[in-house]
Amino acid sequence: MAQYTIGYLVGSLATGSINRKLAKALARLAPPDLALEEIPIRDLPLYSYDYDADFPPAARTFKQALDAADAVLLVTPEYNRSIPGGLKNAIDWASRPFGHNSFTHKPAAIIGASPGEIRSAIAQQHLRAILAACDCPLMTAPEAYIHFTPGLISDNGDVTDPRCEHFLRRFMQSYGQFVARMAKLRPAKG
């Protein structure tokens, strides 16, 4: 039975995203005490502080889902040596308005896939800096930069390479242990 709800954000807005396939694989390979649920970012308008007094419905729904999650997993590609604009926009919504940052004290991990040789290393480095500014504790190891080759993960999340499947299962076990440790340290709500 799941003990922790993990909200995951897929950095790519594309329906057929390889990172969405990766997220599905991670949900399948997660230990039983983790329940992964996607928190969609596709419908968020561009953030502006003009909305701080009254968030639009899509942003309210997004923040409520993030607030309800015990932890967050960011599954992202790399666009132009950084994170996708849609993901940055979602982080901006989550961290606003001032004093209502949904990332504060929420344990997070980052993983990403790319067909390129650099994988998502630079995007993850940028994302770590952004989340540190959001007071979001990050799992620092193991790091996970997945070289996505055709057929590595099916549309429903089946991993075809046993070594990759083993690595992803180990990554999720480490993340589950990190979430449990952080849960003991997180201040009580209220």
pLDDT for res 189: 61
Q: SS3 for 185? A: helix
Rounded Cα–Cα distance for residues 25 and 19 (Å): 10
pLDDT at 123: 95
Whole-number pLDDT of residue 186: 75
The separation between the first and the last C-alpha atoms of the chain, rounded to the nearest angstrom, is 26
- Decide: residue 163, CB within 10 A, 0-12 exposed, 13-18 middle, 19+ buried: exposed
Q: Give the Cα separation of 140 and 22 in Å (integer).
A: 19
Alpha-carbon distance 155 to 69, whole Å?
A: 25
C-alpha dist (Å) from residue 32 to 38, 74, 112: 17, 19, 22
Structural domains of the chain, ranges and CATH numbers in brackets: 4-185 (3.40.50.360)
CB atoms within 10 A of CB 101: 18
Please tell me whether residue 152 adopts helix, strand or coil conformation. Answer: coil
Q: Closest by alpha carbon to 120, among 145, 84, 87?
A: 145
Q: What is the pTM of this model?
A: 0.94
Tokens 């607030």 — which residue? 67
Per residue of the chain (190 residues), give pLDDT as tens: 669 999 999 999 999 999 999 999 999 999 999 999 999 999 999 999 999 999 999 999 999 999 999 999 999 999 999 999 999 999 999 999 999 999 999 999 999 999 987 889 999 999 999 999 999 999 999 999 999 999 999 999 999 999 999 999 999 999 999 999 999 887 666 5
